[in-house]
Amino acid sequence: MRDTGIGIAPEHIAKLFQPFVQVDSALNRQYEGTGLGLALVKRIVELHGGQVGLTSEVGVGSCFTIDLPYVLAPSATPVLPPPNVLNTEQRQPDPSSIPLILLVEDNEDNIVTVAGYLEVQGYRLLLARNGQEAIDWLQTQCPDMILMDIQMPGMDGLEAIRRIRHDLSLGQVPIIALTALAMEGDRDRCLAAGANDYLSKPVKLKQLAATISRFLEPPQTG
Ligand code: MN
């Protein structure tokens, strides 16, 4: 997962994965969170025998990677299929045919939940933490769908949706707004701004899956 965020200094990378540690612990910091998300990710990945990697540059962005060991399940059937099957059906899918989803969200817990789910489903993923970062991604990337949080620091989701619909030549990329349950009437504001649909937060994965499937074919796995 790659972002174009504030980046992380080398001396902060080691403590990034410790629980309840925020690199910026000032009371007026711009980015909220409990400091548990990355610690949980690391713990879960390591329990599966994998590891979490991170490269980052301050002011440029960060790239998180997760390596998980792939173990073939024991099987009664022969390991190798007949050669003709091997040649036609074992081909890797073309990466550009896998749907690309831009997730725009500032809340760390929601990022872990939604991004984790989408990656398990096999989607390719871009992450932005406010509207401006989303616009920046769209200068070079053409996602097949955008999941847009509404309340974010800097440029909020409504403004970002309006700019995407008016300024950018993205055609009719589906935009799903993510809104807090308490915000009655926000559904109409999201749709008026140009969103195709909305999901109430906290996002339930079943509803997320159902909504995505109305706009996108799921990735071909295997
Ligand atoms: Mn938010």
Is the preceding peptide bond at 202 cis, omega within 30 degrees of 0?
yes
What does the pLDDT look like over 169-207, one tens digit per residue?
A: 777 899 999 998 656 688 889 999 999 999 998 899 999
Is this structure's pTM higher than 0.95? no
Distance 179 CA to ligand 1 centre (A): 8
Rounded CA separation 47/82 (Å): 36
The two tokens of residue 215 are 């706009």
Distance 98 CA to ligand 1 centre (A): 27
For residues 164-179, one letter each, b for 16 or more C-beta atoms within 10 angstroms of the residue's C-beta and e for the rest, the string is beeeeeeeebbbbbbb
Terminal-to-terminal C-alpha distance of the chain: 21
pLDDT at 78: 47
Q: What is the rounded average pLDDT for all residues in the chain?
A: 82
Distance 152 CA to ligand 1 centre (A): 4
Average pLDDT over residues 30-34: 67
Distance 142 CA to ligand 1 centre (A): 23
pLDDT at 131: 97
Distance 213 CA to ligand 1 centre (A): 24
Distance 222 CA to ligand 1 centre (A): 35
Distance 167 CA to ligand 1 centre (A): 23
Rounded CA separation 183/155 (Å): 18
What does the pLDDT look like over 47-93, one tens digit per residue?
A: 777 888 888 888 888 877 887 766 555 444 445 554 454 444 455 66
pLDDT value at 124 more than 50:
yes
- pLDDT > 70 in the chain, percent: 79
Distance 17 CA to ligand 1 centre (A): 22
The two tokens of residue 209 are 């899956």
